[in-house]
Chain A
Amino acid sequence: MKDAFLLVYRNIRERKTRSILTMLGIVVGIAAVVAIMSISYGMQESITEQLSEMTDIIMVTPGSQELGSFGEFGSFTERDLNDVERISGVKEAAAMMGEMQEVEYRGEKVMVEIVGIKPRDMDAVFGSTVKLEEDSGSGISASGRELRENDRKACQIGYSIANDYFDYEIGVNDRLTINGSKFRVIGVLEKQGGFRSNVDAQIYVTKRDAIDIFGTNDISSIFVRVRDIEEAEAIADEIGEQIDDNHKLDDFTSAMAMGGAIEDLNSIFQVLQVFLLAIVSISLIVAAMGIMNTTLMSVMERTHEIGVMKAIGAKNRNILFLFLMEAGVVSGIGGVLGCIVGWGAAEVISFGIYSAFDVEIAVVMKLQVLLGGVAIAVLVGILSGFYPARKASKLSPVEAVRYE
């Protein structure tokens, strides 16, 4: 075995440039597979992690069934909220009011989404995932405090509002003008990013202040937490029917259980992964043809040598083995390099996504992806080396020896 390796290694080295080019095909193919897999695992992981605390949530919005279309087709009333709270299995129901409003800071005016919510409901909506920004250690409280029920003209602002929206950074105790009235910033929220980056671009005020600003007490969405996740789908249906009844309309309400949405998302990810792999495997097919071509050329060039080996007693399977091994070794090395390159590429892509979209996607490198990558490479190599190797093994010794 060791000598077979030696023989194979010498032949690979003998044709260095060609071997490297062949290898490169495999490297690219495997790197693409590894990079795509680790990035999509990373995406899936970061999204499910963000959503995992939301599995007991039912998001109730008026109008269309689509995610992200808030309050475009009407709004809910206090009565709807009270009815929802009375449905059995509902632990908490939090009403949110949202509207785009003009916000002014140091003479600069920007349209920002203002969200009104009862401070005690904030936990119900966000759980423990939304926190005040950590104190940077400067000794001055940069993060402030939570909203309280009796706060008047006070607001909490999202991370992006504090840092990006205005020319000047906004900190605790700074004053903003929202729709003509002065508000004091009492807290800056920690950066959310990713799936919840909308929180970064919102300003939170108490429900009472929101009613003043908006001039209405219409509710734009209701967040419901259920006691038992198993019942979430059934409760969501009941909520929908109840509110539709209140408004004497069909399909007025969209009540979506987030747990189901997470499952849907996971299956979408699986489909996406299969699709991406299918695209990437095209590059593996190209690489396979490269290996086949190289091995065929190698067989042709070494016809004489094969003849000599047969003359001195090599059996067909000895020859077959040597050529399969050559293809396997070239592609195996290519596979290992491909894993390394793919890993690097994944890190670069991750950094690129972070720089461009401010979304953090960690590279999730699974051992089975790496091992699978090398295994696929070797398999592709051996499969595509099989035809040329067989051709070599079938050569007639007399004709092969005579071939120059």
Chain B
Amino acid sequence: MGKAKTRKVECMIHTENLCKTYRMGDVVVQALRDVNMEIKDGEFVAIIGPSGSGKSTLLNLLGCLDKPTSGAVFIGGTDTASLSENALAEIRREKIGFIFQQFNLIHTLNALENVALPMFFAGVGRDVRLKKAEELLVKVELGERMYHKPSELSGGQQQRVAIARSLSNDPAIIIGDEPTGNVDTDTGTAIMQILEGLNREGKTIIVVTHDAEIAARAGRTKRMRDGKVLE
């Protein structure tokens, strides 16, 4: 573990023999089998594959939401398996922005407050927070709808709020779990354009999708099947 921690790597994220098994009653499901992959700084990677192929599991591990059964995930050279729950929360907060298929906005908060929430957890002062949130909403072209609750926004608008939220602590990595899965094609394209723009600004972007057209827009595509990454 110590060796892993100090090891110098040029890539932002890489995995070593990553395995994840779930136990469902008596049945053991091998969701990931020996996944070795590298994602470099500033890359735009799409992970595609049929459902059950393990792509969401991989994404959860890359996003520090879950811990591997064996193997390791390195983020900026740090082995995440050695980190405490709190340290993982800090990585999620500072280094990673999450975008979900279901948008997952907090429905009691308006767009502005939702975008400011990760900064609230980071202890950023209220004024700074709200100003930054406002800028981010303007950036995703929702400057007019800042005070609307999620229920008053369309799916595409909600996903743009979610993108703004993922950017609020200025992370290096944006992880999207089927970010276009719940919106129509045109909106999906628009969302991809935003992500492409972010990639041009230097963000590393990893999205899971089963839409080949969306995947085609990414710089690199990884195909998964039965818990393995096929090159």
Q: Most B CB atoms within 10 A — which of A304, A312, A316?
A: A312
Q: Which single residue of chain B is at the shortest CB-CB distance from A304?
A: B104
The smallest beta-carbon distance between A307 and chain B, in angstroms, is 8
Q: Which single residue of chain A is at the shortest CB-CB distance from B92?
A: A313
Q: Across the interface, do B98 and A312 meet the contact criterion of CB distance under 8 Å?
A: yes
Chain B residues within 8 Å of A313, by CB:
89-90, 92-94, 118, 121-122, 169
Q: Across the interface, do B89 and A315 meet the contact criterion of CB distance under 8 Å?
A: yes
The smallest beta-carbon distance between A144 and chain B, in angstroms, is 74
Is A181 interfacial (CB-CB < 8 Å)? no
Chain A residues within 8 Å of B118, by CB:
312-313
Chain B residues within 8 Å of A309, by CB:
106, 117, 121
Q: Across the interface, do B117 and A312 meet the contact criterion of CB distance under 8 Å?
A: yes
Q: Across the interface, do A3 and B63 meet the contact criterion of CB distance under 8 Å?
A: no
Is B165 interfacial (CB-CB < 8 Å)? yes
Is B36 interfacial (CB-CB < 8 Å)? no
Chain B residues within 8 Å of A318, by CB:
121
Is A21 interfacial (CB-CB < 8 Å)? no
CA–CA, A345 to B128, complex, Å? 48
Chain B residues within 8 Å of A398, by CB:
60, 65-66
CA–CA, A333 to B86, complex, Å? 32
Chain A residues within 8 Å of B116, by CB:
3
Q: Across the interface, do B106 and A397 meet the contact criterion of CB distance under 8 Å?
A: no
Is A265 interfacial (CB-CB < 8 Å)? no
9-residue interface stretch from A7-15, A356-364, A374-382: A7-15
Is B6 interfacial (CB-CB < 8 Å)? no
Q: Across the interface, do B121 and A311 meet the contact criterion of CB distance under 8 Å?
A: no
* Chain A residues numbered 295-328 whose CB sits less than 8 Å from any CB in chain B: 304-305, 308-316, 318
Q: Across the interface, do A397 and B86 meet the contact criterion of CB distance under 8 Å?
A: no
CA–CA, A11 to B165, complex, Å? 20
Beta-carbon contacts of A309-353 to B below 8 Å, as 1s and 0s?
111111110100000000000000000000000000000000000
- A contacts with B: majority SS: helix
* Chain B residues numbered 86-114 whose CB sits less than 8 Å from any CB in chain A: 86, 89-90, 92-94, 97-98, 100, 104, 106, 108-109, 113
Q: Across the interface, do B89 and A314 meet the contact criterion of CB distance under 8 Å?
A: yes
Contact among A2, A305, A310, A316 with B106 in the assembled complex (CB-CB below 8 Å): A305
Chain B residues within 8 Å of A367, by CB:
none
* Chain B residues numbered 50-83 whose CB sits less than 8 Å from any CB in chain A: 60, 63, 65-66
Q: Across the interface, do A7 and B109 meet the contact criterion of CB distance under 8 Å?
A: yes
Q: Which single residue of chain A is at the shortest CB-CB distance from B93?
A: A313
CA–CA, A2 to B86, complex, Å? 24
Beta-carbon contacts of A390-404 to B below 8 Å, as 1s and 0s?
000000111001000
Q: Across the interface, do A3 and B126 meet the contact criterion of CB distance under 8 Å?
A: yes
Instruction: Using A2-B126, A6-B113 as known contacts, say yes or no to A312 and B92 having CB atoms under 8 A apart.
Output: yes
Instruction: Using A313-B92, A313-B169 as known contacts, say yes or no to A401 and B104 having CB atoms under 8 A apart.
Output: yes
Chain A residues within 8 Å of B97, by CB:
312
CA–CA, A4 to B117, complex, Å? 10
* Chain A residues numbered 1-51 whose CB sits less than 8 Å from any CB in chain B: 2-4, 6-7, 10-11, 14
CA–CA, A40 to B121, complex, Å? 48
The smallest beta-carbon distance between A11 and chain B, in angstroms, is 6
Q: Which single residue of chain B is at the shortest CB-CB distance from A12?
A: B108
Q: Which single residue of chain A is at the shortest CB-CB distance from B119?
A: A313
Q: Which single residue of chain B is at the shortest CB-CB distance from A315?
A: B89
The smallest beta-carbon distance between A334 and chain B, in angstroms, is 21
Q: Across the interface, do A315 and B120 meet the contact criterion of CB distance under 8 Å?
A: no
CA–CA, A313 to B94, complex, Å? 8
Query: Besides the contacts A14-B108, A315-B93, what 8 more A-B pairs have beta carbons closer than 8 Å?
Result: A3-B120, A309-B117, A312-B165, A313-B89, A314-B121, A315-B89, A316-B85, A397-B92
B residues bordering A, Cβ < 8 Å? Answer: 60, 63, 65-66, 85-86, 89-90, 92-94, 97-98, 100, 104, 106, 108-109, 113, 116-118, 120-122, 126, 165-166, 169
Closest 3 CB pairs of A and B: A313-B93, A10-B108, A315-B89
A residues bordering B, Cβ < 8 Å? Answer: 2-4, 6-7, 10-11, 14, 304-305, 308-316, 318, 396-398, 401
15 A-B pairs whose Cβ atoms sit less than 8 Å apart in the complex: A3-B113, A3-B126, A14-B108, A308-B106, A310-B65, A312-B97, A312-B98, A313-B92, A313-B93, A313-B121, A313-B169, A314-B121, A315-B86, A315-B90, A315-B93
